[in-house]
């Protein structure tokens, strides 16, 4: 009888929902018992905007607990992970991604087209603010923080003060709240954050048995697209709070190899200037797609730079 695996999670509803769903998958695939261990992070205790708290604020407490041996695995929202990876830990699985798109929560099923000029939209994420401003519809972006429930309450609660909030559709899906979406936003104008909707299942590199067991949760196509999106972000030397968007998609070729189509955008906060480009590459059929996918991301980052991404980023640094 082996000891149960300890899965560390933040206490928020979203974190416990996604950790619980992964715990269930680990039980199914490995036959091992899994228990959730709540870890409080400075990001949960602070009310400052995420852009001020800095990259990885939600992640380091979980990683410290992993390194210290207090927990055996952790589930992160992949888009919240810093691009640098710590020694001694490995992302052992990237499970099948949820729908990566952003969603607009409104009252009475209103869509973006139904919102009047001057409508107040809650989001503090520079990437979302920049793309809403780029619509040229005269919307006002209002910085907002807190968990999903708090954010939705600003629109539909008793003391609502906003017309809409932008949230990742994936988070709403994991919480069973898709019904509150007024419109899922088209990536043509609201390109998601790199790795949005994907999870990273992390453990200690030295736990080789667990590393192998968790590999059964891995999804090839998700790993490929997420690797490409994150390589683009890393090559632009920017974190998850920069106005950078990326979305990879994969199609299978007749010969069994895969074609990766990657879109990327850097948008100035006021939405007046943006660089939006795409790139493609072929991924090997059977081997690890990571290197080929990362190359597509780096190449697209280089093209974005040539077309002026650097000066757009400079304006927000
Ligand atoms: N930065 C917070 C965060 N990190 C991951 C998600 C949503 C779920 C996901 O992308 O996997 C959210 C909330 C949001 O952006 O609406």
Residue that has been written with the tokens 């590459």 in this structure: 281
Q: Within 10 Å of residue 45's Cβ, how many Cβ atoms?
A: 7
User: Taken in order 237, 241, 242, 248, is the CA torsion positive or negative?
Assistant: positive
User: What CATH homologous superfamily does 1-95+198-218 map to?
Assistant: Periplasmic binding protein-like II (3.40.190.10)
57-69 residue pLDDT tens: 779 999 999 999 9
Q: Which of 64, 70, 72, 80 is catalytic?
A: 80
Q: Is the pLDDT of residue 55 over 50?
A: no
- The span from the CA of 267 to the CA of 193, in Å, is 12
Q: Is the ipTM of this complex over 0.90?
A: yes
Asked if domains 1-95+198-218 and 102-184 share a fold, the reply is: yes
Taking CA atoms, 127 is separated from 27, 100, 190, 194, in Å, by 37, 14, 9, 11
CA of 21 to the centre of ligand 1 (A): 16
The minimum-distance atom of ligand 1 relative to the CA of 195 is 10
Segment 9-31 shows an average pLDDT of 95
CB atoms within 10 A of CB 63: 22
pTM: 0.93
CATH tag, 102-184? 3.40.190.10
Where do the domains of the chain lie?
1-95+198-218, 102-184, 219-317
- 14 CA to centre of ligand 1 in angstroms: 9
Which neighbouring-strand residues pair with 73?
7, 203
pLDDT value at 237 more than 90 = no
288 counts as catalytic:
no
Residue pointed to by tokens 């797609």: 289
- For the four alpha carbons of 10, 203, 217 and 222, in that order, the dihedral sign comes to positive
CATH of domain 219-317: 3.30.160.40
Nearest residue by C-alpha to atom 15 in ligand 1: 168
Give the pairing of strands 5-9 and 34-38: parallel
Query: 248: closest CA among 309, 310, 187, 306?
Result: 187
């Amino acid at each position: 009888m082996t000891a149960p695996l300890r899965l560390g999670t933040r206490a928020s509803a979203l974190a416990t929902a996604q950790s619980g769903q992964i715990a269930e998958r680990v039980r199914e695939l490995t036959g091992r018992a899994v228990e959730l261990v709540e870890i409080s992070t400075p990001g949960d205790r602070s009310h400052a905007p995420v852009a001020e708290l800095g990259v990885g604020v939600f992640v380091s407490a979980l990683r410290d607990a992993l390194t210290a041996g207090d927990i055996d695995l952790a589930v992160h929202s992949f888009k919240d992970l810093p691009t640098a990876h710590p020694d001694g830990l490995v992302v052992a699985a990237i499970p099948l991604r949820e729908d990566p798109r952003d969603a607009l929560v409104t009252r009475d099923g209103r869509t973006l087209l139904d919102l009047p000029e001057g409508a107040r939209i809650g989001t503090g994420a520079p990437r979302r603010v920049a793309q809403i401003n780029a619509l040229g519809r005269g919307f006002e972006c209002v910085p907002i923080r807190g968990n999903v429930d708090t954010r939705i309450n600003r629109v539909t609660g008793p003391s609502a003060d906003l017309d809409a909030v932008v949230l990742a559709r994936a988070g709403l899906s994991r919480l069973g709240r898709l019904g509150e979406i007024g419109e899922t936003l088209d990536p043509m104008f609201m390109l998601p954050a790199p790795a949005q909707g994907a999870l990273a299942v992390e453990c200690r590199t030295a736990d080789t048995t667990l590393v192998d067991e968790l590999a059964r949760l891995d999804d090839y196509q998700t790993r490929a697209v997420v690797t490409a999106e994150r390589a683009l972000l890393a090559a632009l030397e920017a974190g998850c709070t920069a106005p950078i968007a990326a979305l990879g998609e994969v199609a299978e070729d007749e010969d069994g190899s895969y074609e990766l189509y990657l879109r990327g955008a850097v948008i100035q906060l006021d939405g007046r200037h943006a660089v939006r480009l795409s790139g493609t590459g072929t991924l090997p059929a059977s081997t690890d797609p990571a290197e080929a996918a990362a190359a597509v991301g780096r190449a697209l980052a280089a093209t974005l730079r040539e077309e002026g991404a650097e000066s757009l980023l400079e304006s927000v640094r």
